[in-house]
Structure 1
Amino acid sequence: MAPTISVRNPRTGTVDYQITPPRAEQVASTCDRLRQGQLEWQALGINHRIDVLRAWKQALLDRKDALIQAVTADTGRWAESVLEVDSFLSGLDRWCSLAPDLVAPAPPKTAAIPFIELRPQLVPYGLVGVISPWNFPLLLSTIDTIPALLAGCAVMVKPSEITPRFMEVMLAAIAAVPALKTVFTYIPGAGETGAALIDNVDLVCFTGSVATGKVVAAAAAKRMIPAFLELGGKDPAIVLASADVDQAATALLWGSVVNGGQSCLSIERIYVDRRVCDRFVETLVAKANQLQLAYPEPNSGQIGPIIAERQADLIRSHLGDALEKGAVVHCGGTIETLGGGLWLQPTVLTQVDHTMAVMTAETFGPIMPIMVFDTVEQAITLANDTDYGLSAAVFAGAPDEAQTVAQQIQAGAISLNDAGLTALVYEGEKNAFKLSGLGGSRMGPASIQRFMRKQVLLAKTSSIPDPWWF
């Protein structure tokens, strides 16, 4: 029997849950079972798969309150947990409505050689492995899973060992739909379980840190299987002199501190034109001071606890480094222990620069470091001075002015006069730049198409002997 893993409660700091990872041979056996089920899952067609997933949605709706409670227990926050569950359920509906057109192969066509017809086919990967993180445990465990299932794949998910409680509800809902449990499951565990999963699947999707993503990519490459990776971010925002300062401050506060800043899509550094910077800082600080910690109850305020204990250590390190190098704190700035949990009020910093980790390394906390610029060219250079390229934001008085700047930023998704839109709008295809990821877009039509290989049948339509035959 594998050793159990103790799970810390982010609100109380106490260990109140345990998981027991499967042995490597158990992972392999479960993968074999899922792969056998996949053959019939694929053969029954898209309409059958949609019917099954809609039945699963009903099983989830029957357990919706329990699911919200489980996600809240995992993360310590309430409002985002409700939004996370609702986004997951609406995403399930969206994919079911889109899938029939997206999984249909292109019609046959005549090749350049007139008597050869090309008959395109789409063949799903047999078994997809999903390794998901702790910051949005439900949503990020299903964002790849749902399109993979609709494409005709079987799926095994290993969520983070930091936030595993929601698995119980998900497994109960899966068990309520017999046709689904033959091709879909969750398994608990940490890195060793993830490694065993990669050893037994045909494609892997990973969301998490750059360091672990590199390990996943290397393991997948060794087996010659595809790896789709969405990794860290250090998302910049640029506020031009023409921007509506109040609007920019409101959007960037949300984009920086929603979910306690614990999102790869969080705005983690803000560059503001010197002419409006003082007014922007004043406005942002006033708005930040209106937010409350979600304590003593999960719905007491807007800012939940720091979910992972090790993340608190990193945040302290970034803040300490910034203060030592001359940064000025306008609000927040100190991690508090309340009820055993770790909390940080929204924190605004000025007098920062790129010698500070808070401006260059992923912080994953509710921190808004603000740096002034004098020219647009300088702002673009600073925004691109990073190893990451996930997303960004630009604020300007006119949409065309914002777009001109955005087109020069090296990132996959850039919100204009708003922040974090890629977390809410799923239609736009995008790729991660630099170290922020690898592989096809998990947004838009390409998301489902990643899970199908293109095959072509080349049919001879004439009985005349080919001119190149011996």
Structure 2
Amino acid sequence: MLPATASSLVAQVRGTGPTFTATSPLTGERTVDVPSSTPADVDDAFAAARTAQRSWAALGVSRRAAVLLRLHDLVLDRQAEGLDLIQVEAGKARRHAVEEVLDTAINARYYARTAAKLLRPRRRTGALPVLTRTVELRFPVGVVGVVSPWNYPLSLAASEVLPALMAGNAVVHRPDPATMLSALWVRALAVEAGLPPALWQIVAGEGAAVGPLVVDRADQVCFTGSTRVGREVAAQAARRLVPASLELGGKNPLLVLDDADLDRAVEGAIRACFASAGQLCISIERVYVADRLHDEFLRRFVARTATLRLGVTGDFGADLGSLASARQLDTVTAHVADAVARGAVVHTGGRPRPDVGPYVFEPTVLTGVVPGMRMYAEETFGPVVAVYRFATDDEAVALANDTAYGLNASVFSGSGARGEAVAARIDAGSVNVNDGYSAVWGSIDAPMGGWKDSGLGGRHGAEGLHRFTRVKTVARQRGLGLAPAYHRPGEESAAWTRRMTAALRLLRRTGR
């Protein structure tokens, strides 16, 4: 299933250090050897990127947009190749790999179509109408450092890199070493679409070794990963006074209110909990169900979960694929074992399935998960969910908010107005009503990011582009000055004060 061109993709890496071997979670076997990047390699990557960025920024928005639109078409035309790469190196079912390809195309098209409007000079209200002409200007920050994760190796790379490029920046990108090929594939397509190769530099190596080198040299940092490492990235960026956007961990809740359509809620929860085997930052790990519906929801949800098909093949036959690594399998297994040892009940699943694949774990539903168990508050990041009951909407909101995280949430209700009202009370950067995660994720015109320990800033929408720019305000004053002249008689200052006071009162009366 590994495309014949896979090994040639590695030639894009700027690395002269020792090679490391990536393996496939589908089989545990070697996929490719990748050279690691030394500090000198990272220096060279930034130097080349800075030189290329000046010409790219001067090229103009429309010509940059043309590259992204050609990339959009290439991603869709070559999607089978991309799907193969994602499956081989991330282990997910093909139906979930499709999300990454589509998301990459959507990001390319959205920012190509909207960047001219979002980046153009914008008139702002001046200090004095007519007399003050104020304009907001946006400029690229320079070279953006992107550190992307293994769980969505194509989508989470493209959703950071593409808007950064569209804003006129260059990028130095360190993909996770376990899933280099997906990022290298889309980078190769971008070059084929007309992107100057030096603009998107790829460096490689373990995060603790190469990640800090990128953060130390970048003019803007984008990191997706754990909250623990995110804090370190934020602190490192803060010491240099460079901006950082961070998408971090989550312990995401789904609420089933007492007027919800059970069939829809069960299917929504299946998708929300088990997409990409639960290895999605915005996937659901906690389900809260109203007392009136709890028993029937649990019965249907368990029965439906038990029917999900496991597989590590390259077709669309599997509902769930593999976890990404032995380490991730160990974490998921330990969370379930700890919960069971402390009294939780497994209703379905709960076991590794080496007969299917080396890192496959069954989709698992538990009840009786309480404080003190690891999976009660820690992010499991696997196909494991705990189901709880609640009595009132107020209790449901309190339970949903009882976490250090605030990335994503979901509310199912038969009343759209009620669902939205409850959603507005949940402390999370994105909340879906009658959907698990796709409604927000697919609404690319709106920002998406975490609250609390789930991160800073966000991707998508205008914010997803503006974060890669610096803002300059230019204001030109005509006529009446905004301060009395120095070295003039006191009565002139008093007269100026009276005029300004009258002007402010007039603006108040005219609604300005």
Please state whether the residue corresponding to 1:170 is helix, strand or coil.
helix
| Residue of structure 1 in register with 2:109 after alignment | 93
Range with greater deviation from structure 2 (229-238 or 344-353): 344-353
1:276 shift after superposition = 1.5
Summarize the Cα distance change of 1:210–1:463 in structure 2 as closer, same or farther, 3 Å threshold. Answer: closer
Summarize the Cα distance change of 1:464–1:100 in structure 2 as closer, same or farther, 3 Å threshold. Answer: closer
- d(CA) in 1 for partners of 2:451 and 2:68? 33
Q: Is the aligned partner of 1:404 residue 2:454?
A: no
- d(CA) in 2 for partners of 1:139 and 1:35? 25
- d(CA) in 1 for partners of 2:202 and 2:440? 26
| Residue of structure 1 in register with 2:32 after alignment | 17
| Residue of structure 1 in register with 2:143 after alignment | 127
- d(CA) in 1 for partners of 2:368 and 2:477? 71
User: 1:292 touches 1:345 (CA, 8 Å); kept in 2?
Assistant: no
| Residue of structure 2 in register with 1:425 after alignment | 443
1:297 shift after superposition = 4.9
Please state whether the residue corresponding to 2:217 is helix, strand or coil.
coil
- d(CA) in 2 for partners of 1:454 and 1:129? 19
Counterpart selection for 1:163 from 176, 179, 197: 179
1:414 shift after superposition = 1.0
Counterpart selection for 2:85 from 55, 60, 70: 70
Counterpart selection for 1:199 from 177, 197, 216: 216
Correspondences of 1:30-429 after superposition (within 5 Å): 30-60=45-75, 63-77=78-92, 78-107=94-123, 110-112=126-128, 115-177=131-193, 179-191=195-207, 192-338=209-355, 340-420=357-437, 421-429=439-447
- d(CA) in 2 for partners of 1:179 and 1:368? 43
Counterpart selection for 2:456 from 421, 429, 438: 438
Please state whether the residue corresponding to 2:459 is helix, strand or coil.
coil
Q: Deviations over 1:88-113 (max 9, x none)?
A: 11321122111111111212654338
- d(CA) in 1 for partners of 2:146 and 2:178? 16
Please state whether the residue corresponding to 1:144 is helix, strand or coil.
helix
Range with greater deviation from structure 2 (443-452 or 417-426): 417-426
1:58 shift after superposition = 4.6
Summarize the Cα distance change of 1:255–1:340 in structure 2 as closer, same or farther, 3 Å threshold. Answer: closer
Q: Deviations over 1:193-218 (max 9, x none)?
A: 11111111100001111011111111
User: 1:158 touches 1:194 (CA, 8 Å); kept in 2?
Assistant: yes
- d(CA) in 1 for partners of 2:91 and 2:372? 33
Q: Deviations over 1:388-446 (max 9, x none)?
A: 0001111222122222322221111111122112232222224421100012x312211
Range with greater deviation from structure 2 (279-288 or 459-468): 459-468
Report the AA paired with residue 424 of structure 2. Answer: Q
Alignment RMSD, CA only?
Answer: 2.2
- d(CA) in 1 for partners of 2:352 and 2:23? 18
Please state whether the residue corresponding to 1:334 is helix, strand or coil.
coil
- d(CA) in 2 for partners of 1:84 and 1:378? 36
Summarize the Cα distance change of 1:56–1:419 in structure 2 as closer, same or farther, 3 Å threshold. Answer: closer
- d(CA) in 2 for partners of 1:295 and 1:465? 70
1:40 shift after superposition = 1.6
Summarize the Cα distance change of 1:463–1:296 in structure 2 as closer, same or farther, 3 Å threshold. Answer: closer
- d(CA) in 1 for partners of 2:124 and 2:413? 48
Range with greater deviation from structure 2 (13-22 or 316-325): 13-22
Please state whether the residue corresponding to 2:376 is helix, strand or coil.
helix
User: 2:312 touches 2:357 (CA, 8 Å); kept in 1?
Assistant: no
Report the AA paired with residue 112 of structure 1. Answer: L
Summarize the Cα distance change of 1:452–1:15 in structure 2 as closer, same or farther, 3 Å threshold. Answer: same
| Residue of structure 1 in register with 2:4 after alignment | none
User: 1:63 touches 1:169 (CA, 8 Å); kept in 2?
Assistant: no
Q: Deviations over 1:163-185 (max 9, x none)?
A: 11224423432443554323223
User: 2:365 touches 2:384 (CA, 8 Å); kept in 1?
Assistant: yes
Please state whether the residue corresponding to 2:309 is helix, strand or coil.
coil
User: 2:126 touches 2:475 (CA, 8 Å); kept in 1?
Assistant: no
- d(CA) in 2 for partners of 1:169 and 1:187? 14
- d(CA) in 1 for partners of 2:74 and 2:400? 45
Range with greater deviation from structure 2 (110-119 or 348-357): 110-119
1:35 shift after superposition = 1.2
Structure 1 regions of 5+ residues with no counterpart? none
Summarize the Cα distance change of 1:48–1:469 in structure 2 as closer, same or farther, 3 Å threshold. Answer: farther
- d(CA) in 2 for partners of 1:177 and 1:380? 47
User: 1:12 touches 1:339 (CA, 8 Å); kept in 2?
Assistant: no
User: 1:206 touches 1:230 (CA, 8 Å); kept in 2?
Assistant: yes
Number of residue pairs matched by the alignment? 469
Provide TM-score, normalisation by structure 2.
Answer: 0.86
Summarize the Cα distance change of 1:292–1:262 in structure 2 as closer, same or farther, 3 Å threshold. Answer: same
Please state whether the residue corresponding to 1:453 is helix, strand or coil.
strand
| Residue of structure 1 in register with 2:507 after alignment | none
1:451 shift after superposition = 1.1
1:71 shift after superposition = 1.5
User: 1:130 touches 1:158 (CA, 8 Å); kept in 2?
Assistant: yes
User: 1:353 touches 1:371 (CA, 8 Å); kept in 2?
Assistant: no
Please state whether the residue corresponding to 2:123 is helix, strand or coil.
coil
1:61 shift after superposition = 5.0
Please state whether the residue corresponding to 1:182 is helix, strand or coil.
helix
- d(CA) in 2 for partners of 1:293 and 1:339? 7
Please state whether the residue corresponding to 1:364 is helix, strand or coil.
coil
User: Of the two, which has the highest radius of gyration?
Assistant: 2
User: 2:72 touches 2:104 (CA, 8 Å); kept in 1?
Assistant: no
Report the AA paired with residue 139 of structure 1. Answer: S
Summarize the Cα distance change of 1:118–1:404 in structure 2 as closer, same or farther, 3 Å threshold. Answer: closer
User: 1:205 touches 1:229 (CA, 8 Å); kept in 2?
Assistant: yes
Summarize the Cα distance change of 1:46–1:324 in structure 2 as closer, same or farther, 3 Å threshold. Answer: same
- d(CA) in 1 for partners of 2:195 and 2:296? 58
1:289 shift after superposition = 1.8
- d(CA) in 2 for partners of 1:469 and 1:278? 79
- d(CA) in 2 for partners of 1:340 and 1:244? 35
Summarize the Cα distance change of 1:178–1:84 in structure 2 as closer, same or farther, 3 Å threshold. Answer: closer
Please state whether the residue corresponding to 1:118 is helix, strand or coil.
strand
